[in-house]
Structure 1
C-alpha cells in the first residue's frame, strides 16, 4: 500500500507549511511545494503527483489558473486538482471554473474540509462508471489506471494492481489480498472482474479471481494454484481452459 502523492502550489510559505502539515497528518505524501508557475511546471513533470492543490493567485497573478490549464493539456499526465484561494469574488470563481477543477476551497479552511475535498476530487477523477467500488461506511476504493485508491478510516492510500495476488468471495463482500494487506469490498466478484484488466485478472473458481502475474505453480492433481506470496488457492475445472489459455505451456 502506497500513500497518495500530493503536489502543493502555494506562494505563501506559512500557508504552504500549514497545508503540508495537514496532509502529512492524514498520511499523504508530499512530492514538493512550488511557489511560482515555472517551479510548478518543473515539479509536476519531474515528480508526477496523484493530485495537485493549487492556489489561484501566485504573487498577485492568476498563475494558478494558467498552471491548471497547462496540466489539463498534458495528455496522459493529466491529474485531478483542487483550487484554493482567499478570493471569494464571482469573477475569480468563474475563471477557475473554466479549467474544471475537482473542488474549490476558500481560505481559511479546516482539516476536515480539506480531507473531504480531496476524497471528492479523487472519486470524481475516477468516475463512478469507470471503476468506483463501494465498500463499508469506513472504506472505499476507486480504480484509476493501474492502481486503487483505498479509503481506510481518515486516509487514502494506493494499491498497485500488480501487488494484488487474488480476490476472494467472503460472504457479502470480496476480500482483496495485496501482499500482506487485505481489504473488504462490498461488490460481487463478477462486477470486480468486469472492472479489472481482463488480460491480468481471471476467474479461476466461483469464489476466487487471481492476478495471473502472481501465479508461480499449478498443481493439476490437487486443483491448486500457488502464488508468489506463498499462498495457495483452489481452481475449478470449469475455468481451467480459459486460465491455461493465457499462458504458454511447454510439454
Structure 2
C-alpha cells in the first residue's frame, strides 16, 4: 500500500518545508513542491498527484486560484485540491470559493487540521458522505483505479492493479495484494459493485478474483491458480461468469 501522493504549491520555502514534514510524518508521499504557477502546471502534469495543496498567493499574486481554475477545466485532469493561505479577508475567500475547492486551510494550522482537510477533500471529490473516514477506520473510497483506505491515522491507497483477489473474512472483506493484505469493513457484494466488471469477477460466494492474475484453472479440484502460485476456490455457480470475463480479457 502506498501513501497518498500530494503535491505542494507554496512560494515560502520555510512554510513548504513545514508542510512537507507534516505530510511525511503522517505517511503521505510528497510528489513535489512548486513555487510558481508555471512550475506548478508543469509538475502537476508530470507527477499526476492524488491531491494538491495550493497557497493562494504566489509571489504576491493570486496565482494559486489561477492554477485551480486551469486544472479544473478538463475533466480528465481534475484532482481534489485544498487552498492554503494566511489571508483571512472576505475578498480572498470569495475569490477562492468560485473555484469550488475541496477544503480550505488558514495559516497557521496544526497537523490535525491538515489531516481533516485531506480526508474531507478526498471524500468530497469522490462524492462520498462527509466523515466517512471518521466513521469507519477500515472504510474505503474508490476513485478511478484506486481504493483510498484509512488505517489508524494514515490515509493510503491501493491500486486495483495490485489486487490479486478479495475474500470474505467474518464480517470483513480481505483485499489480498502481491505483498500485503488489508481488512475492510464492507461486504464482498458491495466491493464487487464498485470494481470494473471486465477485470474483477466473483468466482465463489467467498471470493472475487482479478482475472489478470489468473495463470490457469484446475477443473478437477475447482481451483484457480494465480500467477504467484496461490490458489482460490471457484464454484460451479459462478464458473460461467468467470469464463466469459476471461474470454473477453484475452
Deviation string 1:12-40 (CA, Å, 9 cap, x unpaired) is: 11101110111111121112111111111
Shift of 1:133: 8.2
How does 1:1-251 map onto structure 2 within 5 Å? 1-128=1-128, 137-248=136-247
TM-score, scaled to structure 1? 0.93
Aligned to 1:18, the other structure's residue is in SS state helix
Gaps in structure 1 of 5+ consecutive residues: none
Shift of 1:202: 0.7
Deviation string 1:216-248 (CA, Å, 9 cap, x unpaired) is: 111000001111232111100111111111234
* Separation (CA, whole Å) in 1 of partners of 2:71 and 2:53: 12
Aligned residues: 247
* Separation (CA, whole Å) in 2 of partners of 1:246 and 1:81: 37
Deviation string 1:150-203 (CA, Å, 9 cap, x unpaired) is: 211111222110111111111111111111211111222111111110111111
TM-score, scaled to structure 2? 0.93
Aligned to 2:197, the other structure's residue is in SS state coil
Gaps in structure 2 of 5+ consecutive residues: none
Does the CA-based 8 Å contact 2:119-2:133 persist in structure 1? no
Aligned to 1:245, the other structure's residue is in SS state helix
Aligned to 1:128, the other structure's residue is in SS state coil
Deviation string 1:72-94 (CA, Å, 9 cap, x unpaired) is: 01331111100011111111111
* Separation (CA, whole Å) in 2 of partners of 1:218 and 1:135: 41
